[in-house]
Amino acid sequence: MAPQNLSTFCLLLLYLIGAVMAGRDFYKILGVPRSASIKDIKKAYRKLALQLHPDRNPDDPQAQEKFQDLGAAYEVLSDSEKRKQYDTYGEEGLKDGHQSSHGDIFSHFFGDFGFMFGGTPRQQDRNIPRGSDIIVDLEVTLEEVYAGNFVEVVRNKPVARQAPGKRKCNCRQEMRTTQLGPGRFQMTQEVVCDECPNVKLVNEERTLEVEIEPGVRDGMEYPFIGEGEPHVDGEPGDLRFRIKVVKHRIFERRGDDLYTNVTVSLVEALVGFEMDITHLDGHKGLCSDLLTKGLCSELLNTFIGAEYLSERTQMPNAYCARRLWSPYSSCQNKELRERQSPLTPTRACNRHQGHTEEQPIVEGLPLGKRERKISVIFLGSHTTNSMNHGVPAARLISSNDKDSSSDGGSDNVP
């Protein structure tokens, strides 16, 4: 009986050792596929680090371990050499142990947290002096706003370090009374200082990862705590990156919609046209004029990245719309009216009623001009409720509307 117990015990022990030695699944810890790009890995770490930080989960006994696993996963997968080794040999195949402290990796993304966060506001103790904040304008392109990105930044800053000896600190003016003689006093002002441990300012460097989140708005700030200017008697200030979206040559963002202008000839405007439009992420989409086809022949991705999209709506949709400019009043021209697709609302007709038949209704364009500018609007997905699935409603912009769309065309869906 004893040898049987022993063998079972040995087997169990071996199994346990094997399980531990097999190593952690770093991809699973980060929640990314094996084919994930470095950008995806950084994004995943940043999102999870905020959730799993031990200070955020004081009731979870495994929080520290989970957080360390996360740090280890990022350290390996973000380094191309280590990732290659890990992919081939697993965790135990890694040459040197990952010794870098996981608080260090956290500070790459969020700054120098020297204190507990998650609920306690920074400026709670106003008596602690604070160094200056630094605000840096960060230029980003519309493509980066669409797909997201990470910007690597080297922060070289002076840091207060211990030095031998003492120094004067908390200097202040005090009134001192001295007696010159019987009944005669003199009051003088004196500078009185305390004694503090000596500090010197040493320049240190670290890399920071600034995330450009998909859909980020102009002016949004990303703070890195403690990365501002130091204060010898207190805490360092913060470093804040302020997003500045650079004007794009083709697309303009309004809300969550993308606008662009398309130039077509007069014939095309009346008869219909098809054209390829290259989206921000490089893929091409086809857009057809409503007069002939009535709807877009291909669904284009909406503006915000896929992740953001899934939170907002069930079905991504895009619409091609055009301004209803016609050289003839479509109400008076019977032929043209019959040719129009049922998706064209009659509202546009009413607006142009005042014009006679001979007068072309052209906004600011001279007669005989061959070209028209048409606004193609890729709409966001905020009209899902009013619409039958599979049949997108057309949203027509009257030429008198300065911005945004007329209210719904859902009643015109056949």
Q: Indicate whether 80 belongs to the interface with another protein (CB under 8 A).
A: no
- In the region spanning residues 340 to 379, those forming contacts with another protein, defined by CB under 8 A, are none
Query: Nearest approach, Cβ of 332 to another protein (angstroms)?
Result: 34
Q: How far apart are CA 364 and CA 274, in angstroms?
A: 25
Nearest to 147 by CA among 263, 303, 359: 303
Site string (251-290) toward another protein, x via CB under 8 A: ---------x-x------------xxxx-x-x--------
Footprint (CB under 8 A) of another protein, residues 223-242: 228-232, 237, 239
Q: Verify binding: residue 199, another protein, rule CB under 8 A.
A: no
Residue 228, number of CB atoms within 10 A of its CB: 24
Q: Which is nearer to another protein, 69 or 238 (CB)?
A: 238
Q: Tell me the two tokens of residue 213.
A: 């989140």
- Asked if 409 interacts with another protein (CB under 8 A), we say no
Pair 244, 218: CB distance under 8 Å: yes
By CB under 8 A, the count of residues binding another protein is 44
Tell me if 144 contacts another protein by CB under 8 A: yes
- AA letter at 412: N
Rounded to the nearest whole angstrom, what is the least distance from the CB of residue 39 to another protein in the complex? 9
Closer to another protein by Cβ: residue 71 or 148: 148
DSSP annotation of 91: G
Least CB distance from residue 78 to another protein, whole Å? 15
What are the residues whose beta carbons fall under 8 Å from the beta carbon of 266, sequence distance 6 or more? 327, 369, 370, 371, 372
Residue 316 to residue 302: CA distance in whole angstroms: 6
| 163 closest CA partner among 199, 196, 195 | 199
214 touches another protein (CB under 8 A): no
| List 50, 94, 151, 365, residue binding another protein (CB under 8 A) | 151
Nearest residue to 103 (alpha-carbon basis) of 85, 117, 91 = 117
Task: Report the interface residues with another protein, using CB under 8 A.
Answer: 131-134, 136-144, 147, 149, 151-158, 201, 203, 207, 228-232, 237, 239, 248-250, 260, 262, 275-278, 280, 282
